Copies of this chain bind each other. A is one copy, B any other.
Amino acid sequence: MKRTRRACDVPDATIHRLPLYLEKLKLLQAIGVEDVSSRQLAESLDIKASQLRHDFHYFGGFSRPGRPYQVDTLVPALEQIIGISEPQPTVIVGAGHLGQALANYSNLEVQGFPVAGIFDVNPKLIGLEIRGQPVRDMDELEPLIRDKGVRIAILTVPSANAQNVADRLVRAGIVGIFNFAPMDLKVPETVVVRNERLAVGIMSLSFKVKCIVQGSSGRTRSLDD
C-alpha cells in the first residue's frame, strides 16, 4: 500500500541536483553501463555518496538494499520525478539574440523540452525560421499555448515588457516561467518563476576572481599595470 509520496516536499538543493544525476546516468546508459553504486555516481559528480543516497531517499526505493542502482531503472524514475517522462512542449517568447540562441539549442528538445512556438513583437523577426519553426506574432501566443497544452515558457524579452508578457502567459495557462529578463516577475502562487540572471553569474565569478588575484599577492603584477 503505497502511501501518497511527498515527492514535492523536497529541498531546493536536492531538486537542483536531480538534473545532474539524470545527465550523468544517461551518459552511463549510452555507453552500456548497467549498474552503478552511489559512490561511483557521486564521485563522478564531485559530491558525497551519502548526499546522493540522501537525495534519492526523498523518493524512495530506487534499488534494493545491498544492490547497486540499475541505470535502466534510475533513468526513467528520475525522468518521471522531474516531469519529463512525456516531452514538455515549451514556448519561447522573445526572438532576439538570446531567444534565437535558445531556440537553436538543440539540447532543449533532447532533454525533453521541444520548442512548440517562438514569438516576438518585432515584425521584422516574424516569419524567420529557426530550426524549422517560424517566429510567430504575439497574437498566436494564447491559442498555441492552449492548443498544445504548453505549461512552460522561456521568457527572453526586454525587462520593460517582461511583466506584461508574463501576465499574458499566466492567463493563457502557463505554469512555469524561465525568466531571462533581469527583473522580478509578479505571478500568482500557482505559477513558478525561475530567474536566470547572467549578471549574477558573472558578478559572483568576478568576486571570486578578485579574491584569488588579491589572495595570491606577489603575482599581482597585472593588477598594477
Contact = CB atoms under 8 A, between A and B. Distances in A.
A153 to B, nearest CB: 10
Interface string A181-224: 01010000011101011111111111111111111100000100
Given A8-B215, A213-B175, A203 B22 contact: yes
Q: How extensive is the interface on chain A, given as a class?
A: 35 or more
B178 A211 contact: no
Contact of A203 (B19, B198, B213): B19
A7 interface: yes
A148 to B, nearest CB: 10
A19 B202 CA distance: 9
A92 to B, nearest CB: 11
Interface of A: 7-8, 12, 15-16, 18-20, 22-23, 45-46, 81-84, 88, 90, 96-98, 100-102, 104-105, 107-108, 111-113, 149, 151-152, 154, 173, 175-178, 182, 184, 190-192, 194, 196-216, 222, 225
Contacts of A45: 184
A204 B15 contact: yes
19 contacts: A12-B204, A19-B197, A23-B199, A45-B184, A46-B184, A81-B207, A83-B206, A83-B207, A83-B209, A96-B101, A97-B104, A100-B101, A108-B202, A111-B199, A152-B205, A175-B209, A176-B212, A192-B208, A194-B204
B84 A203 contact: yes
Contact of A192 (B19, B177, B212): B212
B212 A18 contact: no
Contacts of A23: 182, 199
